[in-house]
Amino acid sequence: MRILYYDWDEFNGEDCRDAMRRLGHQIDVFKLDMHGFDLTQEMDEKIRGLCGYYDLLFSFDFFPNISEACQKYGMPYISWVFDCPHYTLDSHVTNNSVNRIFVFDSLLYKRLLAKGVSTVRYSPLGVNDKRLSELCQKLDDETGGEIVYEHDVSFLGNLYDNEFNFYDQVKFLPPALKGYTDAVIKAQEQVFGQDFFTESSIYPQEKIKELREYIKFEQTGKYEIDYDGVMLDILRKKVTVNERHNILEQMGRQFDTVLYTMPGAKPIDGVCNLGVASYTDKMPRVFHRSKVNLNITLRSILAGVPLRVLDIMAAGGFLITNYQSEIAEYFEDGVDLVMAVTPEDMIQKAAYYLKHDDVRKQIAKNGQKKVLENFAYTKLLPMILDENETKV
C-alpha cells in the first residue's frame, strides 16, 4: 500500500512509520506549515497533486483541513487520535466520507457515535515492539544481564501547573460556585476510575451553566463544540494538576522519587526534577531502570489506556497506575501491572513493591510480554489500514 504520511513532528511518528514499512507499505512523508486548521491553497495543491498515486493519507490526530482536501479529491484519510481532549473532533467535517477516525477511549468513541459521527472507530494505542525489545536487551547487556536501577519511584509526564491550568486563570467566580466546585475537585482527587463531573447528582447542569457565565469561549462557527464538555475538561485538568502534585509530594517524603517533565514546572518538595526525557531514547531507559513507574492519568481520559501505560510496560518497567476501566479490561491487576483505587492506595502499593523485588520484576516481565504481543503497531495497523474495516 502507498501511504502519504503527514508528519507534524509528533513524538511517536517514526515508530509508526517503521512498523508500516515492516508491514510492507511504501511510506512517503510530507510536512506543511499550518496556521490553524483552515484549508490553505498550499495544502489543496499538495493533496490534488498526490491523490492519484497514494492509497490513503495518514496522520496522528485529526486535522479538519486535511480532511477537507482529501474529501475534495477523493483520497481516503485515516487519523489515529492520541490526544485527549482533541477538540478538532467537533469539526463540521468529521463526517466526511473519506475519513476513518480512530480514538483510544471507548467512552469518547460512544460519545461521538451518539453525536452522529459515523466515521469514528475504536483502537487502543500502540508501541514499536522491535525498537523497544532491542533497546531493553541493549540496556541489560550493558549491565551483565541484570537491571541496574537508577531510581526507586519515577513519574514522567506534564504537571500542567502552568498556562495549561486554565481553572486557576479564571479571574472571578462567585464564592458559592467556587466553593462548591473546589469541593468536588478535592473529592474527585481521592477516587480513581470514576468521573464525578459526569454525575449530575454531584455536579449539576446548573453549576455548568453558571460557570459558563464567567468562562467564555470564542465561537467561530466551524465547530460543533460541546462547550459544557470543555468546561468539565477544565475542571478535570485542575484535578490532574492537584493529584499529580500531591501524589508526588507524598512519594517524595517516603521514597527516592524523580520527575521527568517539561520546563517551568513548579518545584515539589522531596522530588528531584530531571527535566525532559526524549521519547525514543531516554524515556524507555528511565522506565526500564526505575523500580516503580507511576501513571496518573489525565482526567479527561475517562476510560482509555493512556500511551504512558503502554510505553512503561513495553520498556520492561514495573507500573503502578490509577484504576481505569480499559486498563482493567486489557491487563490483570497484580499480574501484568498494579492498579490503585485511591492516592493512598498508590503510595501503600509503592512501599510494598519496593520491598518485594522478585514479585515486582515478574510483574514487569508479564506486562512487557502482553504489551509487545497485543499492542505492537504491527498488530494494530493491519486493522486500521484495512480499506474494508468496519465499525466496532
| pLDDT confidence of residue 219 | 66
pLDDT score, position 353: 98
- 60 DSSP β-pair partners: 80
Distance of alpha carbon 141 from the chain centroid: 31
Calculate the CA 354 to chain-centre distance: 27
> Which residues does 67 contact at the CB level (< 8 Å), separation at least 6?
77, 79, 91, 93, 94, 96, 98, 99
Residues 60/195, Cβ–Cβ less than 8 Å = no
Task: Read off φ and ψ for residue 168, nearest 5 degrees.
Answer: -75, -10
pLDDT of residue 52: 83
- Residue 200 is given by DSSP the state T
C-alpha dist (Å) from residue 228 to 76, 137, 198, 224, 233: 32, 48, 11, 12, 9
Q: Note the pLDDT of residue 222.
A: 65
Cell 495543491 maps to which residue?
45
Fold observed for domain 2-126+377-385? Rossmann fold (3.40.50)
CA angle 170, 171, 176 (to 5 degrees): 85
Predicted pLDDT at 217:
74
- Counting as low any pLDDT under 70, the low residues of the chain are 218-222, 387-392
Instruction: State the Cα–Cα distance between residues 202 and 198, nearest whole angstrom.
Output: 8
Q: Report how far residue 300's alpha carbon sits from residue 33's, in angstroms, rounded to the nearest whole number.
A: 29
Burial class (CB in 10 A: 0-12, 13-18, 19+), 123: middle
Spans of all domains in the chain: 2-126+377-385, 129-165+240-374
- Predicted pLDDT at 389: 46
Q: What is the pLDDT of residues 246-302, one digit of tens each?
A: 999 999 999 999 999 999 899 999 999 999 999 999 999 999 999 999 999 999 999
Q: What is the pTM of this model?
A: 0.94
Dump pLDDT digits (tens) for 179-203: 999 999 999 999 999 999 999 999 9
How would you classify residue 256: left for phi > 0, otherwise alpha for psi between -120 and 50, otherwise beta?
beta
Which CATH number does 129-165+240-374 carry?
A: 3.40.50.2000
What is the end-to-end Cα distance of the chain in Å, rounded?
23
Q: Which long-range contacts (CB under 8 A, 24 or more apart) does 339-344 make?
A: 340/192, 341/191, 341/192, 341/193, 342/190, 342/191, 342/192, 343/189, 343/190, 343/243, 343/246, 343/247, 343/250
Helix, strand or coil for residue 58? Answer: strand
Alpha carbon distance 306, 44 (integer Å): 34
pLDDT of residue 387: 59
Contact 152, 292 (CB under 8 A): yes
Fold equal for 2-126+377-385 and 129-165+240-374: yes
